[in-house]
Amino acid sequence: MLDTLAILTELAARLSQAAGTTRDVGERLCLLRDLVPGRLCLTNGFGIEGQLLTAHAAGLGDAIAVMTLDTGRLFPESRDLWRRTEQSLGVSIAAFAPAPGAVAALVERDGADGFYDTVAKRRACCDTRKVEPLSRALDGAAAWITGLRTEQSPGRKGVSFAVADAARGLLKINPLYDWTRAEVLAELAARDIPVSALEARGYRSVGCEPCTRAVRPEEPERAGRWWWEDEGSAKECGLHTPAHSAARDIWFRTPASAATGSPAVPA
Ligand code: SF4
């Protein structure tokens, strides 16, 4: 494990140095294709970053596998964009869904919308619907390509081009780490790449439908994600944070609770 981590860390440093010489996304992805031995996987959640990366990946043939986490709670607009993207870019986006039995157990225990109750329940849902399917999606992968940008939130300020993901035993690559939202939008428009209908309605970060609201222009990009939670809690679903297995283990031992209604979306 130590040897593997050392190899990944050294390769991440080489990639970050090379990527620092260009801000062109296509060139950055070519670096991965040429320098990383093994399977390259890109996850697209149908936000603007995933769309730009998918367009560039499509230009590299089958060098990069494009996939999405089909949580079962996606916006209809995301499903529509999924279809339009495959048609317009000629790319196949593979779906990784939660295990039906795991979802049934989650809903029986927490209720259909138990994620509104507590952060622990919300994380249990994200674990079931996102984190576990991601583990399967990345099984055997050498690198995981994401749409993280430093500008997205204070918690993402330290994002760099490439890091060794020790827990997953692969490289985590963030080709847009130093891009602004305005730059991403400009390239999407210039290349006529399809974007979600949610974009024009103020959704600046797209997740599952019940957990995402539009944001006002003065709000941070990710303010619409899990908006009912305290600002002090990490507004992440667990894909980009260390596993919170303690919270999951505790929750999985607690009895079922009734579902509650959706908290009011701020005007
Ligand atoms: S974002 Fe919401 S619905 Fe989606 S997996 Fe997380 S808690 Fe569940």
Tell me which residues have their CB closer than 6 angstroms to ligand 1: 71, 73, 115, 122, 125-126, 129-130, 207-208, 210-211, 237
Residue 254 has phi, psi (to 5 degrees) of -90, 155
CB 45 within 8 A of CB 66: no
Which residue, judged by its Cα, is nearest atom 1 of ligand 1? 208
Atom of ligand 1 nearest to the CA of 212: 1
Atom of ligand 1 nearest to the CA of 115: 7
| Global pTM value | 0.89
Taking residues 37-60, what's their average pLDDT? 98
Q: What pLDDT score does 217 carry?
A: 92
Domain ranges for the chain: 2-252
Which residue, judged by its Cα, is nearest atom 6 of ligand 1? 126
Atom of ligand 1 nearest to the CA of 122: 7
Tell me how far the alpha carbon of residue 129 lies from the centroid of ligand 1, in angstroms.
7
- Sign of the CA dihedral 240, 88, 75, 129? negative
Tell me how far the alpha carbon of residue 55 lies from the centroid of ligand 1, in angstroms.
26
Confidence tier at 264 by pLDDT (50, 70, 90): confident
Tell me how far the alpha carbon of residue 119 lies from the centroid of ligand 1, in angstroms.
11
pLDDT tens track for 207-238: 999 999 999 999 999 999 999 997 665 666 77
Q: What pLDDT score does 250 carry?
A: 24
Annotated catalytic, 237?
yes
pLDDT tens track for 137-166: 999 999 999 999 999 888 888 899 999 999
CB 167 within 8 A of CB 194: no
Q: What pLDDT score does 2 carry?
A: 60
Confidence tier at 29 by pLDDT (50, 70, 90): very high
Q: Is 61 left (phi over 0), alpha (psi -120 to 50) or beta?
A: left
List of residues 6+ apart from 222 with CB closer than 8 A: 152, 153, 204, 205, 235
Q: What pLDDT score does 158 carry?
A: 87
What's the CATH superfamily of 2-252? HUPs (3.40.50.620)
pLDDT tens track for 233-252: 566 677 877 543 332 322 22
Distance, in Å, from the CA atom of 41 to the CA atom of 146, rounded to the nearest integer, reads 9
The chain-wide mean pLDDT, for the chain, equals 89
Write down the catalytic residue from 41, 126, 211, 237: 237
pLDDT tens track for 168-217: 999 999 999 999 999 999 999 999 999 999 999 999 999 999 999 999 99
Confidence tier at 98 by pLDDT (50, 70, 90): very high
Strand partners, 94: 67
CB 74 within 8 A of CB 209: yes
Q: What pLDDT score does 255 carry?
A: 28
Tell me how far the alpha carbon of residue 231 lies from the centroid of ligand 1, in angstroms.
17
- Pocket perturbation via mutation, ligand 1, pick of 70, 107, 116, 125 by most ligand atoms within 8 A of CB: 125
Q: What percent of the chain has pLDDT over 70?
A: 88
